[in-house]
Amino acid sequence: MTLTQYGYQRSLRLLAPILLVCLCAQLAFAQVVTYSAPSGVSMSGDYIVKVGGKNIPVYRSGSPGALPQPAPYDKTTDLCSFATFDFSGSAQVEITSPVYPLGNAVVRPASKGVVPSVTGGVMRFTVTKAFSHLSIEPNGKHQPLLLFANPIDVNVPAPDAPGVVYLGPGLHKGLISLSSNQTLYLAGGAVLQGGVFAKGKGITIRGRGIVDGLPAVMANKGPQVRWYRDAMVCGQDCTNLRVEGIILKDAFGSAVTYHRCIGVTTDNIKIVGDQGDGFHNFNTGDLHISDCFIRTDDDCVYLGVSWAQTPLTDIVTMTRCSLWTNRANIWRIGSGWQQLGVPSPSMRNLTFTNIDVLHYDTYPYDHQNPVARIGGNKDQNVEHVRFENIRINREGQSELWEVKTYKDTNTKISDCYFKDIFVTGAFNETYGAIRVGAIDALSTVSDVTFENIMRHGQLTLETSPGVHAGSNTSNITFIGSTTAGNLPPTISRATNGK
């Protein structure tokens, strides 16, 4: 043995204990937490999911015929399954389906970095990032499996702590009302068939449980069903409100509504349904939404007018979210409403960044909805709006983006900046229309910039196909470089699929 060989082997002997300690620490850090499902809740037989070798419950969202819609809209195609778990470190996921072959399934969004493989009908992949909320789609956008990978829930309140309303594992029914300095905690495995209403200061709604609106929908089968403001979770006149971690299933109206609130943090909310809006926000400022998954039938995010002039809808941010609507807008900022009294004078400082649009309206009515519809309300300005790093999966829809006022509204839209918007998916011989304009001389649209808008690999400029800059506008600018950076991937397909 040479001196060099001896030194090498001695180094390995010295390093072995250190490597063993590091490996043990890594294994100790990796953790998977699952929650049992209570009886009396709709479960899915379409998928079987294991995480870290543990079976986890798979729930069903939606019900055919709950709210029948005219042809060609078939709500049976909008049923979906979902499962949820918490983890740290990394987690190994295995999925099988007795209904759908998984060999060509798509996992969205690709920005989560999940690359699946399929062997013997079993899909496998590893998640390494918390908030890896995924859509596994073996049948296109129909009947997917939604998988919610959360961080470990920490600082769980004691059930008997002062000011805590604690819903433990099991089935609960009714409307929970919260006032100042109260916390509602829905434990993992808890399902509340009902709603939550909050009014006051310092209120928190959190946990890993589920709020389920489907029984109310099925009991009424129509828009007459009511809690408060038609929302499963409603905050009214709140200051410093937190909503985090829970799943909202099958809303009977909007999943979440905020009225006249200041200082709202919404984090890691999962909205799953086949009707209603995701977030309804009226006269709410200092609102921050992050790491959420929203799958709705109607608008994912709606900013509208309330029955008061204050507070302003001022400072709204949304980041690191995945959004999906079946037949409406992803974002709708204003609706042109005139019948609700005197609105606040403006909606302003609205920022949306690092967001994946998984699917949006594909239904062939008299028109298709764009991803974003920015229109304002009567006698209300919309100003200082920014969208940046938005990834859109397009499926051949005619419409893409709209900055356009409504008729007879006296609306001023100004200072809007749209940057690094990447559109991929089905080209279908069209790029998706971008429309900018004021519908009449009462309103104006000004100072709108589109920078590095890439539609199907093509930089969008003012002369590009599908770009429509209408009347009553000024300073509408398209800028960018034909050598823009590589497009991000939009799908991750299973490999070796059979």
For residue 370, the one-letter residue type is: P
* pLDDT computed for residue 336 by the predictor: 62
List the structure tokens of 357.
């649009």
| Helix (H), strand (E) at residue 14 | helix 3-29
For 186-227, the DSSP string reads E-TTEEEEEEEEE-SBS-EEEES-EEE-HHHHHHH-STT--S
Q: Which residue has the tokens 């304009």?
A: 437
Structure tokens at 11: 């180094």
pLDDT tens for 382-402 read 999 999 999 999 999 999 999
Who's near 399: CB < 8 A, 6+ residues apart? 361, 367, 368, 369, 370, 432, 433, 435
C-alpha span between 67 and 217 (Å, rounded): 8
Closest CA to 460 of 443, 478, 439: 478
CB atoms within 10 A of CB 69: 15
* 374: three-class secondary structure by DSSP: strand
Rounded (5°) CA angle 477-322-480 = 20
Peptide bond connecting 72 to the previous residue in cis, omega within 30 degrees of 0:
yes
b/e per residue 314-339 (b: at least 16 CB within 10 A): bbbebbbbbbbbbbbbbbbbbbbebe
Three-class SS state of 421: strand
Which secondary-structure segment (H or E) carries 24? helix 3-29
252/175 Cα distance (integer angstroms): 13
Confidence at residue 224, expressed as pLDDT on a 0 to 100 scale: 38
Q: Which amino acid is at 487?
A: L
Q: For residue 78, what is the DSSP state?
A: G
Please tell me the distance from the alpha carbon of residue 80 to that of residue 250, in angstroms, as a whole number: 11
Q: Which two tokens stand for residue 180?
A: 């100042």
CB-based contacts of 199: which residues, under 8 Å, 6+ apart?
A: 177, 178, 179, 235, 236, 237, 238
What single string gives the DSSP state of each residue in 337-396? Answer: --SS-SPPSEEEEEEEEEEEEEE-----SSS---SEEE---TT-EEEEEEEEEEEEEEES
User: Which pLDDT belongs to residue 15?
Assistant: 47
Look at the block and give the residue holding tokens 């029948």. Answer: 68
DSSP at 15: H
| Low pLDDT (below 70) residues in the chain | 1-29, 63-77, 216-229, 306-308, 336-344, 364-367, 481-498
Residue type, 241: L
